[in-house]
Structure 1
Amino acid sequence: MSLYSIGEVARICGINPVTLRAWQRRYGLLKPQRTEGGHRLFDDNDLETIRTILGWINRGVPVSQVKGLLEGSITPHPSGWSQLEQKLLSVLQEEKTQKVRQLIIEFGREYPPESLVNNVLRPLRTRLVSNASTLYLRGLLDGVLIEHAVMCMNAARKKAGTKVLLAGWGEIDRTELWLEAIARSSDGLHIDLLPDPLQDPHFEGVQAKLILLWAEGKLTSVQRTRYLHWQQLGLPVSLLGSAAVLLQTPPDEEPDAIIR
């Protein structure tokens, strides 16, 4: 499991480091590890928690109430996107998978695919990973999402579009590939998706006009070298996921050891 500095987490999640410290010290929402020098280190589970917290706050929930939501001791008042999320969760808990399929199709007709993915489907998956007893439901949801992604990709191919290859690189959450396919289904793209992440990809000679490559965490030195090589060759490789965010800015580490 990857470890991230507070600066890296801030870039990945789009949040100020000062806010992360406040969530830890004032509200007890985060419990990062510490280096011998006192620097905070966050793992992938912490990233999931932060995204969940941001999801609640974006729905208008006061940060003071978020801990109760994470622990399940209070019930949120649904509003906006959370109403759709809660509706999906309710039918999923009853294992009415056909109804889940129907709801996602209905939501897809009413909302832009990218908004639906980022504001409903991704937050719901994150919510279902916070408790071991809900992992089964997340598996059911993932199966429905893959089916829906295939439907979206097939529908897109009925119109003129650009040939695109969508793939994963290294250890990733594979369902993110299918969510990305749903999010981009209205962009005029004909997506060919590789369901198994690549460990040693070679894109020289690939006929796609665009290669979307999803990667999570820090790229290794070998991966960084490979990515720069593709750029030098002029290959149309676009990096997605948290790895893309980390690659945009040089790594830094804020000396917060004295801030407890």
Structure 2
Amino acid sequence: FMPVRQKLSLDQNTARTMCSLLDGLLIDYVAFCLTGSRKKSGKDALIIGWGIEDRTRIWLEGWRLSQHGWRIDVLAEPLDVPRPELFPGMNMFVFTGKKLTRRQQEQLSHWQEQGYSVRLHEPA
């Protein structure tokens, strides 16, 4: 779009608007790529943002998983507490964008002990 140094000189409102426009383009492209990846063989999975506010990052991480043979669906809204019982039998990845808190580690272990296929997707 424009060189970084020019973007940095923009007022905050303009910068947020430009970032929002870029996020929309990225999500649109990732959705297109994920649709194409569903036509290939692979395992189905769902990626869920857990306690994260950056929705675009969830989509980008879903795309990264699709590059490793996963056929990914994205839960577009991040959750404070995912509920794997709503997706029985589904492979799930949770993405926090950072190291898990102790509470999140305990919750992830609890879900796995209950037999849910929930994995942490680490940031790149």
- Place the TM-score, normalised by the shorter chain, in its bin: 0.7 to 0.9
Q: Which amino acid aligns with 2:89?
A: Q
- Cα distance in 1 for partners of 2:116, 2:8 equals 36
- Aligned position for 2:88: 206
| 1:148–1:182 CA contact under 8 A, matched in 2 | no
- Aligned position for 2:50: 169
| 2:46–2:93 CA contact under 8 A, matched in 1 | yes
Q: Is the deviation greater in 128-137 or in 142-151?
A: 128-137
| 1:171–1:216 CA contact under 8 A, matched in 2 | yes
Please list every run of 5 or more consecutive structure 2 residues that lacks an aligned counterpart in the other structure. none
Q: Give the structure with the larger helix fraction.
A: 1
Moved over 6 A (4+): 128-131
1:188 Cα deviation (Å)?
2.3
1:170 Cα deviation (Å)?
1.3
| SS, match of residue 195 in structure 1 | strand
- Aligned position for 2:104: 223
Question: Pick from 27, 30, 46: which aligns with 1:146?
Answer: 27
- Cα distance in 2 for partners of 1:147, 1:223 equals 30
| 2:48–2:95 CA contact under 8 A, matched in 1 | yes
| 2:46–2:72 CA contact under 8 A, matched in 1 | yes
For the pair shown, the structure with the greater C-alpha radius of gyration is: 1
Q: Give the structure with the larger strand fraction.
A: 2
How many aligned positions are there? 118
| SS, match of residue 62 in structure 2 | helix
- Aligned position for 2:113: 232
- Cα distance in 2 for partners of 1:130, 1:148 equals 28
Q: Which amino acid aligns with 2:61?
A: E
Higher relative contact order (CA 8 A, sep 6+): 2
- Cα distance in 2 for partners of 1:174, 1:198 equals 11
| SS, match of residue 119 in structure 2 | strand
| 1:166–1:191 CA contact under 8 A, matched in 2 | yes
Please list every run of 5 or more consecutive structure 1 residues that lacks an aligned counterpart in the other structure. 1-91, 94-123, 243-260
- Cα distance in 1 for partners of 2:121, 2:9 equals 24
| Paired-residue identity, % | 35
RMSD of equivalent CA atoms? 2.7
